[in-house]
Structure 1
Amino acid sequence: MWSQRRRLTLAGQFLVLQLVVVAFVLAIVGAISVQQSNDSFASERGAQMRSVSEYLANLSVVRAQIRGPVPATSLAPAIDRAVGLSGATEITIADPAGRVLSSSDPRLVGARAELGDSRVREGRAWVGTVETRGHRFVAAHAPIIDDSGTLVGLAVAEEQFPSFWTRLTNAADELVLYLGAGAGLGIAGSWLLARLVRRRTRGLEPREFATLADHREALLHSIREGVVAVGTDERITMINDSARSLLGLGTDVVGRRLDSLGLDQPVVELLTPGADSQDAVVLVGERVVVFNQRSASSRGQGIGAVTTMRDRTDLVSMQGQLSSNLSITDTLRAQTHEFANQLHTISGLVQLGEYDEVTSLVGVLTRRRAAISDAVTRRVSDPAVAALLIAKSSVAAEAGVTLTLTDDSALEALSPHTSADLTTIIGNLVDNAVDACKGGPAPAVVVELSEDADDIVLCVRDDGPGVPAELRDTIFARGFSTKPDVPGGRGIGLPLVRLICTQRGGSVTVGAGDDGDGVGRGAVFTIRLPKEPA
């Protein structure tokens, strides 16, 4: 039997619960009805008892005989008439001390009358309830005063409260009607509620809800991807541990608005319902995070959005290394193309027998290569950075762009870790600068390197179209590539540059160039990079 009750459906449990509630309410209604019956009895019969007691107290025979030698006998006729007129259970006449002189119940003569909190001894009539001989009575007390104004006795009229069953029977007609109507409505309402609950819960039972909730919690907090649910009011309704870690949030964020969490504006925009972002990339602190959002709805109505987040910092680092390798490959290809052209020229001169021209050309090429190498190595002592700048000059030349290292540049040899990071930064900034200005009139890129006690300062200028002021933060924060049509997937450079600077405790800024007459020209990227990791 117990196992069957435990197997009740959710709708059945609601029905049973509602029936219990209805039964409880009906019991309260019954109790209230009985109490109302009590109050009505006390009010009606109390007034009647007061009239009888005052009538008895005002009878001249009572005032005259109360001090007689045998009051129990002489007062009995008046008491009997009062009982007959009122239907009282007991009528008693007592002396001022409360001792019964005469009563409708002869056994009470000589006993003490139960006066309760009555003030009849002060000459005031009183109506109330008293408990005596194990029964409850509605009682009325009236003072008996002689012609001289002296209190000579007390007239007491009492009627016993009917039994509970009697009171319930007296109210049976209305009570049965009300209880029946209440029970019918309660059962009908419970049945409808049970059906509604079953339809709204899609037939799932409580144990299935509990299982789903446990699985949901385990799933959300065990996956490595961050998950954030935001309602239409832009308040967080759910967030898992991975999302808190990625966004740097505490444990008290559920129920708070997005704009109160201290997140960067691009992150807030991607979490706001309606963004519907796909593979949007943002730098969150020192991490590169990919955002994907889908709108959530219930029964055709929007209830917010769910955003997933993936930490792609390690992948970006690998892509940065790949980008460096691709840059080196492009450099080697450019140098190979340059050397091939030079060899073809030399071969043609040899075939023509122009040996003096061959000698002159080789000398020019040698001096040019030596001049480029000497111009870099005299200012840059770090081999990796110097080699990169020399190689990039060939790539820039192939694109028709002049790459120049300023005369006041100076850089000492660096630690391997700092050198690797700096070459990645220089390679990406130079590639972006060359792409930005090539095709223009006399395109040029200028690189300036310097260092102070703690930081390396890098400045890369170009004479391209520049970066609008409203996009100077966006180019670092959104998207791996601003040029999706570029073969090889290039364009991750600027987010990678910012990531490296952030991780090392450095900074990167972008501004407009100046051609000397106060007119902005091109873009200027300025990097401050600590020599050792922060």
Structure 2
Amino acid sequence: MEPVRRLFNGSLGTQLFVLQMVMVLLAVGATALVWVQHTRRQLDDQYQQRALAIAESVAGLPEVREAFRRPKPELLLQPIAMSVMAATRADYVVIANRDQIRYAHPNETLIGQKLSTDGSEVLASGQSWRGTETGTLGRSVRGKAPIIGADGQVIGLTSVGVLEDTVAEQLGAALPPLLYTVLAVLVAGALISALISRRVRRQTFGLEPGEIAALLEQREGVLHGVKEGVLALDLSGKVTLVNDAARDLLGLDFDAVGRDLGDMPLSDRMRDVLVGDDPGEDKIVLHRDRVLVLNRTPISVRGQHRGWVVTLRDRTELVELARELDHASSTTEALRAQAHEFANRMHTVVGLLELDEHEAAVRFITQTTEAYSQFAAEIRAKVDDPTLAALLLAKSAEAAERGASLVITDDSRVDGEGLGDPRDAVLVVGNLVANALDALEGTGGIVEVSVRTDGDGLHVRVRDSGPGITPDLVEEVFREGFTTKAANSGPRGLGLALTRQTCLRRGGWVRVHNADGAVFTALLPPYGTAPVAVSVGKAPS
């Protein structure tokens, strides 16, 4: 047992070679055994037929029938039997009467004695018989035929046989070709087994089963331990590997391995990036409530392209921080603009005082204060929520700083009940106004803002006096990662995409059309309802 144990503890190539050789030996041995048995049965059948044919020929000789009418038949039948034996190379030819007393036998001392095997069936039925029996000369294959007299009655029988040793000798003569064939098959099997073992070693890079198992465990540990999502695809687009992080980021509640991307609940944008229809690095995709960054890298093994691996990074918190920073920057910019405007006005007041124009200075201060207070009061009167009102006031100052004018329409009315989460309202309104100001960059103009609430939620309408949205880009402005500056409205990055995502998450919508400039309209329900599809290119009815 120790050599066997050592053998199966050897290298993978050695184990494969030995196992395959064992299989070859078993197959060849079983085939050879079946062949020998089949050949032996064929030889037995052939010799039985031959013995029966000789027996029937002897039984049909007229000399044999004539001898049975003589006083001593054995004197005539023994020479006939011996001559037949010499001519046919049979091991024995026996002739007996109806009482089964021998008249002819290779051993003359047995003449006159009863047959050692029963021939009553042949004598009674008058039918020939063939088979294998054991007699005085040993076990043999034999044939028995009845001898029919002139009156048609059975008067005796003939028995012709070939010893099994003779059959075995002929079988042995047929074995050398079989042995040569078996040897050739074993040599071929050994060569093929060696080639298979070598190929397996090459494909496994010479690693042993224990090392392969350790690598698999390490791979599983690494893949499912990293926080980044990893998704592997083959050439046909089927998932071959997905770790826990990727399953969580994509929201998969099933095992995606072996499934096609078309059968998975993914957005068109996500599917385009995964299959490579939208190539590039650090592709930004909005999936459910998350902002994901995807990178798609080809996989090559030994110089052959095998598929792709896609990494997914969750940048939701980073985007949230960037959004808060953007809001803070907007507020800072508004304060800077107000400070700059205040400084200009103070310089004007100082100049008037130096010119002793005291009344003009007082009048200028009064008018400026009243105008600002009136605008702030107008916004607070129309917008009940302080957060949204502060945003509009800051955007107004920013617009003035950039040479534009922000106008709040007369139909604007916002109360707290229909607003819902003010953070979502600030995101939607802030992004749409920022987009409108970008469209007027360097040209001046007007940004018209309408915000109102009713039973459906917050309705937002932002129109700029810019050149509008290029028709071929109308479908693209809400796509995440859209950064081209070909659109005069200048949508950048995630602003409009986040706006759409927020509206959809709340069960609303966002749309855009051209009417003396770009007009963005959005509905932000106070509570999440069934999401509706985004429609672009048409005005809301």
Bin for the TM-score computed over the shorter chain: 0.7 to 0.9
Residue pairs, 1:272-351, within 5 angstroms? 272=275, 277-351=280-354
- Mean CA deviation greater in 351-360 or 267-276: 267-276
Kindly provide the amino acid, as one letter, of the partner of residue 528 in structure 1.
L
2:500 and 2:510 in contact (8 A); partners too: no
Residue pairs, 1:38-437, within 5 angstroms? 38-42=40-44, 44-63=46-65, 79-88=81-90, 102=102, 104=105, 109=115, 111-113=117-119, 130=132, 138-142=141-145, 144-147=147-150, 155-162=158-165, 169-272=172-275, 277-413=280-416, 418-437=421-440
2:419 and 2:425 in contact (8 A); partners too: no
Give the secondary structure class of the aligned counterpart of 1:378. helix
Q: Deviations over 1:489-532 (max 9, x none)?
A: 984322332343344x23332321324xxxxx314142323257
2:419 and 2:458 in contact (8 A); partners too: no
Kindly provide the amino acid, as one letter, of the partner of residue 196 in structure 1.
R
Residue of structure 2 in register with 1:527 after alignment: 523
Give the secondary structure class of the aligned counterpart of 1:530. coil
- Mean CA deviation greater in 155-164 or 319-328: 155-164
CA distance in 2, matches of 1:251, 1:92: 85
- Mean CA deviation greater in 524-533 or 364-373: 524-533
- Mean CA deviation greater in 99-108 or 210-219: 99-108
CA distance in 1, matches of 2:177, 2:38: 12
Residue of structure 1 in register with 2:534 after alignment: none
Kindly provide the amino acid, as one letter, of the partner of residue 183 in structure 1.
L
CA distance in 2, matches of 1:131, 1:275: 87
- Mean CA deviation greater in 1-10 or 204-213: 1-10
CA distance in 2, matches of 1:385, 1:136: 115
Kindly provide the amino acid, as one letter, of the partner of residue 182 in structure 1.
V
Q: Deviations over 1:387-421 (max 9, x none)?
A: 21122111111112221222112111259971122
Q: Deviations over 1:328-352 (max 9, x none)?
A: 1122122122212211221222222
The verdict on how the C-alpha distance between 1:406 and 1:179 changes in structure 2, with shifts beyond 3 A counting, is: same
Residue of structure 2 in register with 1:497 after alignment: 499
CA distance in 1, matches of 2:373, 2:124: 134
Q: Deviations over 1:177-206 (max 9, x none)?
A: 223323333333333333333233222111
CA distance in 2, matches of 1:120, 1:265: 95
Identity over the aligned pairs, expressed in percent?
34
CA distance in 1, matches of 2:203, 2:472: 49
Measured on the aligned residues, the alpha-carbon RMSD in Å equals: 3.8
CA distance in 1, matches of 2:349, 2:114: 150
CA distance in 2, matches of 1:110, 1:70: 21
TM-score computed with the length of structure 2 as normaliser: 0.82
Residue of structure 1 in register with 2:510 after alignment: 509
Kindly provide the amino acid, as one letter, of the partner of residue 118 in structure 2.
R
CA distance in 2, matches of 1:68, 1:218: 104
Kindly provide the amino acid, as one letter, of the partner of residue 215 in structure 2.
L
1:464 and 1:522 in contact (8 A); partners too: yes
2:123 and 2:154 in contact (8 A); partners too: no
Kindly provide the amino acid, as one letter, of the partner of residue 368 in structure 1.
A
Residue pairs, 1:469-480, within 5 angstroms? 471-472=473-474, 474-479=476-481
CA distance in 2, matches of 1:525, 1:383: 22
Give the secondary structure class of the aligned counterpart of 2:293. strand
Cα deviation for residue 74 of structure 1 reads: 8.6
CA distance in 2, matches of 1:406, 1:294: 50
Give the secondary structure class of the aligned counterpart of 2:10. coil
The verdict on how the C-alpha distance between 1:482 and 1:70 changes in structure 2, with shifts beyond 3 A counting, is: farther
1:121 and 1:143 in contact (8 A); partners too: no
Cα deviation for residue 452 of structure 1 reads: 2.6
CA distance in 1, matches of 2:278, 2:40: 69
Task: Tell me the matched-pair count.
Answer: 516
CA distance in 2, matches of 1:140, 1:397: 126
Cα deviation for residue 55 of structure 1 reads: 0.9
The verdict on how the C-alpha distance between 1:36 and 1:6 changes in structure 2, with shifts beyond 3 A counting, is: closer
Give the secondary structure class of the aligned counterpart of 1:446. strand
Cα deviation for residue 439 of structure 1 reads: 3.0
1:316 and 1:496 in contact (8 A); partners too: no
CA distance in 1, matches of 2:365, 2:155: 153
Q: Deviations over 1:423-465 (max 9, x none)?
A: 222122211111122334x622222222232522222222334
Kindly provide the amino acid, as one letter, of the partner of residue 405 in structure 1.
I
Residue of structure 2 in register with 1:15 after alignment: 17
The verdict on how the C-alpha distance between 1:114 and 1:511 changes in structure 2, with shifts beyond 3 A counting, is: farther
Higher relative contact order (CA 8 A, sep 6+): 1
Q: Deviations over 1:50-99 (max 9, x none)?
A: 32122123133555677999999996665555444444456566899xx9
Residue of structure 2 in register with 1:518 after alignment: none
Residue of structure 2 in register with 1:446 after alignment: 448
Listed as ranges, the gaps of 5+ residues in structure 1 are 484-488, 516-520
- Mean CA deviation greater in 12-21 or 81-90: 81-90
Cα deviation for residue 130 of structure 1 reads: 4.5
CA distance in 2, matches of 1:345, 1:244: 64
Kindly provide the amino acid, as one letter, of the partner of residue 19 in structure 1.
M
Q: Deviations over 1:155-179 (max 9, x none)?
A: 5544344499856742343234223
CA distance in 1, matches of 2:148, 2:76: 18
Cα deviation for residue 284 of structure 1 reads: 1.3
The verdict on how the C-alpha distance between 1:397 and 1:47 changes in structure 2, with shifts beyond 3 A counting, is: same
1:100 and 1:110 in contact (8 A); partners too: no
Residue of structure 1 in register with 2:538 after alignment: none
CA distance in 2, matches of 1:200, 1:68: 89
2:448 and 2:462 in contact (8 A); partners too: yes
CA distance in 2, matches of 1:53, 1:164: 18
2:500 and 2:509 in contact (8 A); partners too: yes
The verdict on how the C-alpha distance between 1:289 and 1:195 changes in structure 2, with shifts beyond 3 A counting, is: same
The verdict on how the C-alpha distance between 1:234 and 1:490 changes in structure 2, with shifts beyond 3 A counting, is: closer
- Mean CA deviation greater in 365-374 or 384-393: 365-374
